[in-house]
Amino acid sequence: MLIFESIVSLQQYLKKKRENTSKIGFVPTMGALHEGHLALLKQAKQENDLVVCSIYVNPTQFDNQEDLTHYPRTLAADTEKLKYIQCDVLFAPTNIEMYPTPSLVAFSFGHLDKVMEGQYRAGHFSGMATVVAKFFNIVQPDTAYFGQKDLQQYLIVDQLIKSLSFPIQLVRHPIVREADGLAMSSRNRRLSPAQRAKAPKLYEALQLAADWLPKAAIVEVKRRTQEFLLQAEGPKVEYFEIAHGHTLEALTTYQPNTPTALCIAAFLGDVRLIDNLLLH
């Protein structure tokens, strides 16, 4: 595996490679790699001739300095995992490489970036879209892989690709979970053993909500879900929304044929977890 820190040297390498490579796949990450990330990379390996993974903890998408400081950074271990699955290229730039001058651009995605994560993490999606657009320009992949774990992010990247006419095929990978249902996340390693034991309640709550949906009004489903987590002394809910799976507009009634997203964010101590279920 080749490792690049510099944009220019990565671009020179990819330019040469493109002469005899038909398809480049790209998987952007913030590192602290787990089986969820690796599943995206393995799919990319199967569907492309060359796979580029980026590891970059993007400061412009963090609204919370603490979260940025505590974000796990495990580049040496990540590099070993990437070599093991035969990733072709790792791009791990520094902040000065990515932002030689402070970023002044801002993105807006209408309703999509105002709700849920957008409501609670000011500027998060603008920062995320900025770095993803930069990566798309740098790597110029044919396909890009994003996880359903960050459903709102996936929908916004889809919009970004359409709005800026990036010639990139976007692939959504399903959520990879631990055996007990907890969605894999780099933040899980910050959970204490007691918090880790409670974390799967989040997925349990989503499954219960999905069971209740056809039989109860949406307000009632939301109330019962919150009550379940409270009673179970599970993660403390920041939001729980039941929304259209493409537009994220809040749904007032459940219809089995409408793509429906159940999205939740909750805290265990100061660790913030998100999860979702998509019903079609």
User: Which residues are tagged catalytic?
Assistant: 37
In the complex, least distance from residue 78 CB atom to ligand AMP, rounded to whole angstroms: 10
Joined tokens for residue 98: 């990515």
Q: How far is it, in rounded angstroms, from Cα 129 to Cα 161?
A: 10
**Count of residues engaged in binding ligand AMP, rule: CB under 6 A:** 16
Q: Of 214, 236, 213, give the one whose Cα is nearest residue 224.
A: 213
Of the candidates 274, 240, 243, which has an alpha carbon nearest to the alpha carbon of residue 261?
Answer: 243
Q: How far apart are CA 92 and CA 89, in angstroms?
A: 10
Residue 226 in contact with residue 264, Cβ under 8 Å? no
Going by C-beta distance under 8 Å and a sequence separation of 6 or more, which residues neighbour residue 14? 24, 52, 89, 139, 140
Nearer residue to ligand AMP within complex by CB, 45 or 173? 173
Q: Work out how close the CB of 75 gets to ligand AMP at its nearest, in angstroms, rounded to a whole number.
A: 13
Binding mask 103-142 for ligand AMP (x = CB under 6 A): ----------------------------------------
Nearer to ligand AMP, 116 or 184 (CB): 184
User: Which residue from 139, 183, 210, 251 is in contact with ligand AMP, where contact means CB under 6 A?
Assistant: 183
Q: Which of residues 144-173 bind ligand AMP (CB under 6 A)?
A: 146-147, 149-150, 173
- In the chain, the amino acid numbered 183 is A
Q: Which of 89, 176, 242, 251 binds ligand AMP (CB under 6 A)?
A: 176
How many CB atoms sit inside 10 A of residue 186's CB? 19
Q: Is 273 in the site for ligand AMP (CB under 6 A)?
A: no
CB nearer ligand AMP, residue 139 or residue 184: 184
Q: Which of 223, 176, 246, 194 is nearest to 36 (CA)?
A: 176
Residue (29 or 260) nearer to ligand AMP, CB? 29
Of 30, 38, 53, 210, the residue at the interface with ligand AMP (CB under 6 A) is: 30
Those residues whose C-beta lies under 8 Å from the C-beta of residue 41, and which sit 6 or more positions away, are 27, 51, 53, 82, 85, 87, 145
Lookup: tokens for 159? 């919009």
Tell me the window of 1-9, 103-111, 159-167, 178-186 that interacts with ligand AMP (CB under 6 A): 178-186
Which residues lie near ligand AMP (CB under 6 A)? 29-30, 36-37, 40, 146-147, 149-150, 173, 175-176, 183-186
